[in-house]
Structure 1
């Protein structure tokens, strides 16, 4: 993985300021900066260099709730359950709360919450399993009247 140097960042910012906001701008920049793919440039821009990014190190509780509650509605594919359109969610988060956060930070909130949920479910399942292992089996009532005598089986 190629990391961005200060010179690369300066050059990238220069090229982005010259280009209009368009769908192919990262492809055009990648032609000028051949060390990086358009996807790498897009991710670096959206997570680090975009001048509109909020540099607060945290999201408020309301912003986290918004992400957790709304991420399933931004699912673009019914076949892939985790294909959330983070860019749209980020824009709506900005419209509602006024801060543009890095996509990486928004994804981390969602996946950390999901990981915590699955760990809790796994722990609950494990404790339920161990609880069922320690439960005494039902007692068998050995009542004298319920016994069948061997003699009655041998003599029809």
Structure 2
């Protein structure tokens, strides 16, 4: 049977899912069981819909400041831990490859292991939601937590780009005075302040100054 890739959950289907989850919620393959009874939805679609919308234990309040800080700290600690694991594994790989190449009399260029070439860090949102619930006794949807983090990252990236653009614009606006020629003499340091020529007059007087 061909299933719709992006089906819309109507209220009738929502009610059926709620009832089936009361019956099969204690099974580890509960979403597979429900999908067999509502075959137009895949187990993954039902699982996502349940975790983000239908679960009666969901907290629909907006994330508070403490919850947001908890999410940020949780992800930063995980990313730092993954970096340390990567360094340790890569150093072990580097040491092992050097021994192999030395024993074989080869002078090969060391390549980074393929399994560590992926720089994107996948965040386990299930674990974030679980620890968030254990800490604050509130179960937020994965979508809400994920949307907060993605929105924050986009905001940081936007500010960073804006700062770089402002810095670039400021550098372009800087005026560099080239050394003066005989046709456009500049006053020496020994002259009085009253006899000094302003930079604006030098720039505007194109008839006497040639750069």
Q: TM-score, normalised by structure 1?
A: 0.82
Q: 1:64 to 1:127 in 2, by over 3 A?
A: same
| Matched length | 143
Q: 1:6 to 1:80 in 2, by over 3 A?
A: farther
Counterpart Cα distance in 2 of 1:61 and 1:26? 33
Query: Which whole-Å deviations, capped at 9, do the CAs of 1:15-65 have from their partners, x for residues lacking one?
Result: 111114344221221111111111111110001111211122x11111011
Q: Which residue of 2 aligns with 1:118?
A: 157
1:51 to 56, 59, 77: 56
Counterpart Cα distance in 2 of 1:38 and 1:127? 49
Counterpart Cα distance in 2 of 1:23 and 1:127? 54
1:35 to 7, 31, 40: 40
1:127 to 157, 166, 188: 166
Q: TM-score, normalised by structure 2?
A: 0.62
Q: Which residue of 2 aligns with 1:89?
A: 128
Q: Which runs of 5+ in 1 are unaligned?
A: 145-156
1:141 Cα offset (Å): 5.6
1:24 to 25, 29, 35: 29
User: Larger C-alpha radius of gyration, 1 or 2?
Assistant: 2
Counterpart Cα distance in 2 of 1:35 and 1:45? 15
